[in-house]
Amino acid sequence: MKTRTTLFAVSLTLILLAAGAGAQSSGTDYGEPFTIDQITPLAKIIESPGDFVGKEVRTAGFVFQMCEDSGCWLGMLPSIDSSEMVKISFTQTAVRFPIGEETTSHYVEIQGEVITAEQEATEHEAHMIEEGEDPAARAEEHAEHVMHEMRTIYVCNGAPEAMSFSPGDCPTGGAMVAKEVPVPTFTSLAINGSGAVVKDKK
């Protein structure tokens, strides 16, 4: 039975790295075409922020959270069970993602400039003011929605690389098992995105 199970994320990344040639990968395209051949793992960017701030990168991950107002930013995880995510902001472009299940939980490739979270916050506030919104009021509104400290993902005991945001079957047989992991928090980095490809769920 076909499920939403995300299989072999590491292998998928290696395949995409091998694809090269700067071409857009299959999926739904947003924004500008990719101009960088090599995918830099998002985990590597998180682990060594000083090596990437101010640089243009092509990276990939899973969408955990997104802007529910206009679809202009994504919270991206390096892996489904990660406790850290990077904010991918498209507020300086015309990119708008479908809000909800059409984007959340999907595997996404993006290209953009790595900046600090402080830079992103300043740019986002300026964008809100330009759009006629009150940043202070929006911040207060968002503060009321406190997220739980833990969340549920689904894993396979016989295939640890197989993980999903929703129940499904394991490639080795049997049902996936629920596992509690910490709710991810934003890192001190962000990426000012220029282009993206959203994949179909597996």
Identify the DSSP state of 196.
E
What are the pLDDT digits (tens) for 127-143? 666 666 665 655 555 54
Question: Is residue 187 a contact partner of residue 46, using CB atoms and an 8 Å limit?
Answer: yes
Q: Is residue 156 part of a domain?
A: no
Which CATH number fits the domain that encloses residue 123? 2.40.50
> How far is the C-alpha of 102 from the C-alpha of 17, rounded, in Å?
25
Tally the domains of the chain. 1
71 by DSSP, 3-state: which?
coil
Q: Is residue 72 part of a domain?
A: yes
> How far is the C-alpha of 87 from the C-alpha of 28, rounded, in Å?
20
Q: Is residue 1 part of a domain?
A: no
Q: Is residue 157 part of a domain?
A: no
Q: Is residue 171 part of a domain?
A: no
116 by DSSP, 3-state: which?
strand
Domain range enclosing 99:
9-146+184-198
The pLDDT assigned to 2 comes to: 33
Q: Among 34, 80, 78, 74, which residue's Cα sits nearest to residue 57?
A: 34
What are the pLDDT digits (tens) for 90-108? 876 779 999 998 899 999 9
Residue 153 confidence (pLDDT) above 90:
yes
Give the global pTM.
0.77
Q: Which residues pair with 111 in a beta bridge?
A: 58, 195
